[in-house]
Structure 1
Amino acid sequence: MKIACLHTAESNIAIYDNAAKTLGLPAGTLHHHVRADLLFAAERAGGLTPDIEAETAAVLQQLAQDADAVVLNCSTLGPAALLAADTSEVPIIRADGVLAENAVKAGGKVTVLCTTETTIAPTTRLFENAAKTTGADIDVRLIDGAWALFRAGDHKAYLVAIAEASETAYREGAETVVFAQASMTGAAALLGDEYARPMSGPTAALEAAMTAIGAN
């Protein structure tokens, strides 16, 4: 089994490798491809443009030629997964799409935390569409200043800011807290014991890929 993963940050490779180990996947199952330039382009453009979406879809389709499934791990570029899937012979998994479906299952108030402005619009659409089937109340929030910390390489401060925002969301009534981006995953370990662990995408995305491969 070969699962190709498209990332926009090198640091997310370790996060996905850890998720794969947790799931018991054999070493070498994941094959990582990093295209940070695609996210940088979207940030410069103020969001995902048709050209960037098309380029991302082309990359996904290329990866699909030599894999049993492909996972797109970028919430800003997420819509490109649907575009690529239209002509792909193998499953193309949108990590945040799987996350949204899982997060709304129980209904209630779902607070989705983001650290990049470019992901706010696609994430809001994604979660609100998913919530139509369960009636979940979606609250998408941007953690101000967090992405600047990430870009500066201060990952510790980045995760601390996310953990603090998570605890605030729980105190304000969130029943489910969701990390919209894989880079946020490590913040879950920083929350106090009185709080539930926020949901994150890597494990769910790989589980979906495994299921899709089995069904293919």
Structure 2
Amino acid sequence: MRTKLGLIHTSATLVPIFQELVTRYLGDKDIEIFNIVDDSLIKNTIKQNKLTPDTARRVSDYIGSAEQAGADFIMVTCSSIGPAVEASELLTSIPVLRVDRPMADKAVKIGTKIGVIATLETTLEPTSDLVSRRAKAVGKDIEIFSVCCQGAFEALMGGDAAIHDQIVAEALKGLSDKVDVILLAQASMARVVDQLGASDKRVPILASPPIAMEYLAEIL
């Protein structure tokens, strides 16, 4: 029987990225996907510098809409609105996944000193909190090193991807000396990892989209 997977995004640029990942990781399964996109969710979160109750309610509404559209499984692909995703699980009769949860679980398995890196505080805090709670769930003591790459997001929004990548790369290099594993709180930073030399990749660096797809491939 065909499985219907609903993907909820806060940017239209994520649609083709996740389409490619679905093809790569779930191509051998009978799966139909559909996308819901609303970039005002992340724009409002950045503007308010936090996930507001109003935005959280709208996230919940979209999850409910995906269920009504016939989804058998829902994944929300933005880490900044992760807490709203978790709150919505209790209101939904089908499985709902925040994209960074499998990544957090993998990091907890790898080590005890865990780095979390982001270009936005609104993404850094919820990802760090998720890692802390997932470690507690399995009874593991960890230490979290959180780093926000100041100026990187502004550079990217201003069209200077090179400056963004330089700031993120320097932060990754510095953090790798202190931790066992690094989590990228934003998947947009993954391309910077590909630019690093082998000597700069001293610890595993995890990005949420492919790990989430590996998880879905196991359970669907």
TM-score (norm 2): 0.85
1:77 counterpart residue number: 81
SS of residue paired to 1:80? helix
Q: 1:1-216 maps to which residues of 2 (within 5 A)?
A: 1-25=3-27, 29-65=32-68, 66-132=70-136, 133-170=139-176, 172-194=177-199, 195=201, 196-212=203-219, 214=220
Q: Kindly, what percent of the aligned residue pairs are identical?
A: 26
Amino acid of the structure 2 residue aligned with 1:182: A
Q: Which shows bigger deviation, 189-198 or 135-144?
A: 189-198
For the residues of structure 2 that align with 1:3 and 1:76, how far apart are their CA atoms? 21
For the residues of structure 2 that align with 1:37 and 1:52, how far apart are their CA atoms? 9
For the residues of structure 1 that align with 2:19 and 2:162, how far apart are their CA atoms? 20
C-alpha contact 2:26 2:217 (8 A) present in aligned 1:
no
Give me the CA root mean square deviation.
2.2
TM-score (norm 1): 0.87
Amino acid of the structure 1 residue aligned with 2:193: A
C-alpha deviation, 1:61, in angstroms: 1.6
Structure 1, unpaired ranges of 5+: none
For the residues of structure 1 that align with 2:42 and 2:4, how far apart are their CA atoms? 25
CA pair 22-56 structure 1, distance change in 2 beyond 3 A? same
SS of residue paired to 2:198? coil
C-alpha contact 2:147 2:171 (8 A) present in aligned 1:
no
C-alpha contact 1:114 1:179 (8 A) present in aligned 2:
yes
SS of residue paired to 1:74? coil
Amino acid of the structure 2 residue aligned with 1:163: A
For the residues of structure 2 that align with 1:11 and 1:160, how far apart are their CA atoms? 22
C-alpha deviation, 1:156, in angstroms: 4.6
CA pair 122-183 structure 1, distance change in 2 beyond 3 A? same
Describe the superposition over 1:5-40 as per-residue Cα deviations: whole angstroms up to 9, x where unpaired: 212122223332333233142697443322110111
C-alpha deviation, 1:72, in angstroms: 0.9
Amino acid of the structure 1 residue aligned with 2:183: V
C-alpha deviation, 1:152, in angstroms: 2.5
CA pair 99-63 structure 1, distance change in 2 beyond 3 A? same
Structure 2, unpaired ranges of 5+: none
SS of residue paired to 1:141? strand
C-alpha deviation, 1:68, in angstroms: 2.1
